[in-house]
Structure 1
């Protein structure tokens, strides 16, 4: 199978189950999330943990979206929540209205999908922070559920479910 025999790399000699366990442990420790030098995150980490069966449309640049979220720090302390305010976020994605990390984290999301976003400081509030709410150089964690996505280019489908016999109007 191999021209000069199998490679002698020690990981290739491990049984498949042990190799899989090593990979799971490495991911659990956060390896692969940091920069190559082992420093801070370079980009948003997206963990998709509820993906709907049907996804006719994903979020794209310029879409109007509505979503709920909880924002926490690494220690789990909540700094903001649309649920607590009882107000969902309704905004256009990719036009500079959100922190860059949230813009990137929403891209490609489906309605009813849930994601956990880990936003490094340079894609959040940076070295300045947000007075009284976000300290400087804070990594932010968001639990997001997308409720709606719309774009003016989308077609609107309307159908009449029930029309009383005496009503002449049609939709």
Structure 2
């Protein structure tokens, strides 16, 4: 094989490997689920979540784990990025998920300078710490 052809082959191969890190749709990976799940997070719940946010190159841009201070927000109401509103629905207290969030469900083409570039796929390791304001399984069954 000619050197130019070999170079072209490896360049095309490497670009497809890097492109594979960028996702087009939300990907949800359950890393740990408690044996007992009495209440699942649903739209309108105020939840407390620990998280570690990374770019596809592994750069950590934010982490509540290191601060020891989980974030609180109302799920499904636009207080956080869409990837979180969608990716945390149905989560049990104590459950750990890995969310791969495409730019369209994250910070879009504009990004969040200086830490998150435009068009970035985001990877979040999350743990649902608490669902606030709910105390019975019956509320889940009303839906």
Structures share a fold, TM > 0.5?
yes
Please identify which structure carries the higher helix content: 2
Equivalent pairs counted in the alignment come to 119
| Cα drift, residue 100 of structure 1 | 0.2
- Counterpart pick for 1:57 among 39, 46, 61: 39
Q: Quick check: 1:115 aligned with 2:97?
A: yes
8 A Cα contact 1:62 1:151, kept in partner:
no
Write the distance in 2 (CA, Å) between the matches of 1:105 and 1:79: 19
Give TM-score scaled by structure 1 length.
Answer: 0.64
* Runs of 4+ off more than 3 Å: none
8 A Cα contact 1:79 1:133, kept in partner:
yes
- For structure 2, list consecutive stretches of 5 or more residues without a partner in the other structure: 1-16, 137-143
8 A Cα contact 1:63 1:93, kept in partner:
yes
| Cα drift, residue 83 of structure 1 | 1.7
Q: Quick check: 1:139 aligned with 2:121?
A: yes
Superposition pairs for residues 79-94 of structure 1, below 5 Å?
Answer: 79-94=61-76
- Counterpart pick for 1:44 among 3, 17, 26: 26
Q: Quick check: 1:68 aligned with 2:46?
A: no
- For structure 1, list consecutive stretches of 5 or more residues without a partner in the other structure: 1-29, 31-37, 156-171
Write the distance in 1 (CA, Å) between the matches of 2:52 and 2:120: 16
Q: Using the TM superposition, name which of 80-89 and 130-139 deviates more.
A: 80-89
| Cα drift, residue 95 of structure 1 | 1.0
Structure 1 match to 2:87: 105
- RMSD of aligned residue pairs (Cα, Å): 2.2
8 A Cα contact 1:109 1:146, kept in partner:
yes
- Counterpart pick for 1:126 among 105, 108, 111: 108
| Cα drift, residue 99 of structure 1 | 0.2
1:112-143 Cα offsets, whole Å, 9 max, x none, are 00000000000000000001111000000000
Whose RCO is larger (CA < 8 A, sep 6+)?
Answer: 2
Please identify which structure carries the higher strand content: 2
| Bigger CA radius of gyration | 1
8 A Cα contact 1:42 1:120, kept in partner:
yes
